[in-house]
């Protein structure tokens, strides 16, 4: 599995710890920024990583900022992406199993490093279960397609 990972300056330390954790687990990833000491607009990082996931260059993505909220909002603007804020084990599991989220977002100002690593492990180990959630995710994608068509972007 290949992961796209990115952060803004508010979450560089957490991203660095997650990357070390991925290295220890042998998970391949590409860092989309920011670098230590670099000030960026988190939407720029989120869009780059989400586009790479949407194009199929990466199976999943991990985005971190102060709260995870801004990264999720931005990543969800990229057609085909489902990004979820995950700050507890249940949300990390359900993001994958129920919502088929390809991108998890976390906040350095909200959770600690050890919890973040635990959530990454849960999220990476889960697959979309379909079942009763299948039609719901399909409907999400139908609405997305409908709105893109209305905007003249098939």
Q: pLDDT tens digits, residue range 77-112?
A: 999 999 999 999 999 999 999 999 999 999 999 999
Which is higher by pLDDT, 109 or 134? 109
Question: What is the distance, to the nearest Å, from the Cα of residue 80 to the centroid of all Cα atoms in its chain?
Answer: 13
Count: domains in the chain: 1
pTM (predicted TM-score):
0.95
Cβ-contact 4, 52 below 8 angstroms = yes
| Distance, CA of 121 to CA of 123 (rounded, Å) | 6
Cβ-contact 27, 54 below 8 angstroms = no
Domain ranges, residue 100: 3-129
What is the domain-level CATH number for residue 78?
3.40.1400.10
- Which contacts qualify for 144-152: CB closer than 8 Å, 24 or more apart? 144/79, 144/80, 148/79
- The candidate with the shortest Cα–Cα distance to 61, out of 123, 8, 117, is 123
What local confidence, expressed as pLDDT, does residue 64 receive? 98
Q: Mean pLDDT over residues 4-17, rounded?
A: 97
Catalytic residues: 65
What local confidence, expressed as pLDDT, does residue 154 receive? 65
């Amino acid at each position: 599995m290949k992961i796209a990972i990115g952060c803004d300056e508010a979450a560089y330390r957490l991203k660095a710890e997650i990357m070390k954790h991925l290295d220890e687990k042998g998970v391949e990833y590409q860092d989309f920024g920011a670098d230590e000491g670099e000030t960026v607009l988190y939407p720029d990082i989120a869009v780059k990583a989400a586009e790479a996931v949407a194009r199929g260059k990466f199976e999943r993505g991990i985005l971190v900022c102060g709260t995870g909220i801004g990264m999720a909002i931005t990543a969800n603007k990229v057609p085909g992406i489902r990004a979820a804020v995950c700050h507890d084990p249940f949300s990390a599991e359900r993001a994958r199993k129920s919502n088929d989220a390809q991108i998890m977002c976390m906040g350095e100002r909200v959770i600690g490093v050890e919890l973040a690593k635990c959530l990454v492990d849960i999220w990476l180990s889960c697959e979309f279960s379909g079942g009763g959630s299948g039609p719901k995710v399909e409907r999400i994608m139908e609405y997305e397609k409908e709105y893109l068509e209305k905007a003249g972007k098939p």
